[in-house]
Structure 1
């Protein structure tokens, strides 16, 4: 008993009390079953933020990885190794040059391959050389052909003066070129070059059909070729007798004639001096005499240098004339 005269019940009931408490426990359990289950779910601070844990179900690894993924990964790995080896050996560049890179392949598959190439304005350069120089191959495609780069590559050839590259979609490429025309031959350091009118050295003399072009000799003579051809025009009937023009000190010309004679022209008024030479030769046959050089650099006189034989003969004739004159005085 407690101080109030009540009988205290043990916290752990005996056999008899257990039987009495079961109905109450059963009633309590049925009451709990009727309550909504979400009232008994433990809440967390993340619940207020809208987070929910997703229940996970164990799935076998073989079902998570797509079918044949391992095979494709293996093939891709060895493909990367092979591609890396091609790049190191330089074979990829050759392959791309022949078949195009992957983007060209895709563009050709979509109908944007280069089906037709029109080249206009060429006379001496072969078409295959033009295509190779521009980097146009069967593997090229219209969208990925760099027209500006192709133009620069073509202009790197001294034979090509100007070029225009146009794309006509879906599959035609038009190249319009202007070639430099062979204008003269230029001898420099013992080698002969074909030069254009603007003085550009096009190539070494390989085509013997160009050997008849006017020949200029000396440093910078290629840039003065038009002035030399003007002298040949002034030479008139003597033009066929002129073998070459030598530029002296970049200022004046000395003409080398077929018979070895040198014609020294002035720096100023060279065409007029050439016309004077034509007149002298017509009147006296000057170019057919035994002379080594004719100096026309002075406008009021002509200086002639004789050959050694002619000089000796002239000297001997002079002595004979003097001797005849002395005898005449004595008598």
Structure 2
């Protein structure tokens, strides 16, 4: 003690595990006095140099659960519960589907409100198709928004259109979609089993005949006639001045063509069809054969032309033959 009756050091020793404010500390050497084997706790200055697992640990102080939970957690849980119940009822009752059908998804509605609506769709490369057909096939309208529109899905839908050969889709923020496409080139019409389809030059069906846009294309008829389209187009070129009068070509037994020309059937041979067509052009120029009362011209034999008359033409010919037979011999006409 000092002269005032005070101790120069505090009566508590810092650094002992479990030592708390106001609690008497175990004096140094007390462990050895009790049993002689108790380890001495390192001082606070020495503990800073020891490994972590050798340092003395402070006793944890338990904090009440009520003080550890965030404030207003109970209120938030109540509102969250009722919100979840309302959302489930909104979806299960069909209101969500009706809302989406009219206005789009909530995400689209929010994006449009922020100025990212789908206000403009630019389509490049149109030839036979129309803009309305592209939009319908792509499945896009004013309910969509640009951020939440999937260009992959739009491209896949347009690629499924038979008349479209290639397509690319690109977003142009904030409100424009650019669609660039390449149409397949239609070459002819193909009629089979009463149905007419639009085909390419290689015979691939690229669309079905839905309106009058393709009515001026050449028409081929019959099974596998689409695969012989190039041959038929070559015959049209060989027809020269008669080309515009040919209405259709029918492939017979997959071997030869019969042309429909102003209501007259022109039967061409299996081989040498172009040469036979040239013969028909000469006959028409010399004798106006196709203007007579005939319903068929058979050019399958290279050395002759066989024609079939109409009923009226056949009756008139029979009448003319009878008159010739009744004439007396030597009568001048």
TM-score by length of 1: 0.65
Count of aligned positions: 285
Q: Which residue of 1 aligns with 2:302?
A: 299
Which of 205, 211, 217 in structure 1 is aligned with 2:210? 205
Q: Following the alignment from structure 2 to structure 1, what is the Cα–Cα distance between the partners of residues 138 and 258?
A: 43
Quickly say closer, same or farther: Cα 1:111–1:265, change in 2 above 3 A: same
Quickly say closer, same or farther: Cα 1:202–1:310, change in 2 above 3 A: same
Q: Kindly indicate whether the alpha-carbon contact (under 8 Å) linking 1:215 and 1:245 is maintained by their aligned counterparts in 2.
A: yes
Q: Following the alignment from structure 2 to structure 1, what is the Cα–Cα distance between the partners of residues 75 and 129?
A: 52
Q: Which residue of 1 aligns with 2:251?
A: 247
Quickly say closer, same or farther: Cα 1:94–1:126, change in 2 above 3 A: farther
Q: Following the alignment from structure 2 to structure 1, what is the Cα–Cα distance between the partners of residues 122 and 259?
A: 46
Please, which runs of 5 or more residues in structure 1 have no aligned partner? 1-31
Quickly say closer, same or farther: Cα 1:145–1:236, change in 2 above 3 A: same
Q: Kindly indicate whether the alpha-carbon contact (under 8 Å) linking 1:218 and 1:247 is maintained by their aligned counterparts in 2.
A: yes
Q: Kindly indicate whether the alpha-carbon contact (under 8 Å) linking 2:146 and 2:171 is maintained by their aligned counterparts in 1.
A: no
Deviation, 1:163, is 1.0
Larger radius of gyration: 1
Quickly say closer, same or farther: Cα 1:70–1:115, change in 2 above 3 A: farther
More helix by share: 1
Which residues in structure 2 correspond to 1:163-312 (within 5 Å)?
163-167=167-171, 173-198=177-202, 199-207=204-212, 210-258=214-262, 260-311=263-314
Q: Following the alignment from structure 2 to structure 1, what is the Cα–Cα distance between the partners of residues 233 and 84?
A: 64
The residue matched to 1:162 in structure 2 has which SS?
Answer: strand
Q: Following the alignment from structure 1 to structure 2, what is the Cα–Cα distance between the partners of residues 125 and 256?
A: 30
Q: Following the alignment from structure 2 to structure 1, what is the Cα–Cα distance between the partners of residues 229 and 86?
A: 57
The residue matched to 1:267 in structure 2 has which SS?
Answer: coil
Q: Following the alignment from structure 1 to structure 2, what is the Cα–Cα distance between the partners of residues 74 and 126?
A: 54
Which residues in structure 2 correspond to 1:97-116 (within 5 Å)?
99-100=104-105, 102=107
The residue matched to 2:248 in structure 1 has which SS?
Answer: strand
Which residues in structure 2 correspond to 1:17-96 (within 5 Å)?
35-36=26-27, 54-60=60-66, 63-84=67-88, 89=94, 91-92=96-97, 95=100
